[in-house]
Amino acid sequence: MHNAKKWAAAAALLAILCLGGCQGASVSTSQSMTFQVGTGDKIKVTLDTSAGDSLAQEEGSFSVKNGDSLVFQGVFQTPDQYAAQEAAIRGTEGVEIVTDGETMLSYYYEAGAAGPETGYLFMVDGSDTGVYMASLMDREAADDAFGRMTFEKE
């Protein structure tokens, strides 16, 4: 009987330790796609899918969805297309430039044709490929989703 009490106490202690140790654990999932783009580069896009988002390819573009909701639509660009897109963004009255770096431009446009728009224009490191992404979600949600994405040249 004494051994049974020891085993029960040991089992209870083990269960408490397991439960306590598992509380802080989180599971992270991701999805990746590699695109052969018009510049000749191979670009790998990785999305942290822990929030329920998914990555899809659609006729030369890509999208991020959460269930049936479109989070982002994006396209790959040549350097000339990138320069034209940047000029169009900068030349549109009412566009608020949020980030203005050497290889990254983000903006918010309240009067977008389909509603308020958050956009990101950047060059993939070490490549000749630009990426233009736009979202009709609110700025915070768009920034959060964008922060869960990585782009790299393979």
pLDDT band at residue 94, thresholds of 50, 70 and 90?
very high
Domains and CATH numbers, the chain: 29-153 (3.40.1000)
Reported as a single tens digit per residue, the pLDDT across 36-83 is 999 999 999 999 999 899 999 988 799 999 999 999 999 999 999 999
What does the buried/exposed string (b/e) look like for 38-66 if buried means 16 or more CB atoms within 10 Å of the residue's CB? Answer: ebebebebbbebeeebebeeeeeebebee
Question: Which stretches of the chain are DSSP H helices?
Answer: 2-23, 79-91, 139-147
What pLDDT score was predicted for residue 103? 85
pLDDT at 14 over 50: no
What pLDDT score was predicted for residue 58? 83
